[in-house]
Amino acid sequence: MQTAKNEVADLLKRLPDNCTLEDVQYHLYVIQKIERGLKDEEEGRVYEEKEIEKKMSKWLEK
């Protein structure tokens, strides 16, 4: 597993030279969300499709 510092350094190498701080923040946010989602999946914190459909149908009724 890479350290946070190494992940940021790798990201900066991949981004164009004219990127903004907002671009960097956005990419870090996306990476963090993907990693969190993968961890949730590994630990079984996911919903089945039928569960989502049931929850969505309740929200859409209102």
Quick one: which H or E segment has residue 40?
A: helix 21-42
pLDDT (tens digit per residue) in 10-34 = 999 999 999 999 999 999 999 999 9
Q: Are 31 and 7 in contact (CB under 8 A)?
A: yes
Q: What is the mean pLDDT of the chain?
A: 95
- Both tokens assigned to 46: 């996911």
Range of the domain at 51: 4-61
Three-class DSSP category at 53: helix
Give the global pTM.
0.74
Beta strands in 1-62 (DSSP E): none
pLDDT (tens digit per residue) in 36-58 = 999 999 999 999 999 999 989 98
The number of domains in the chain is 1
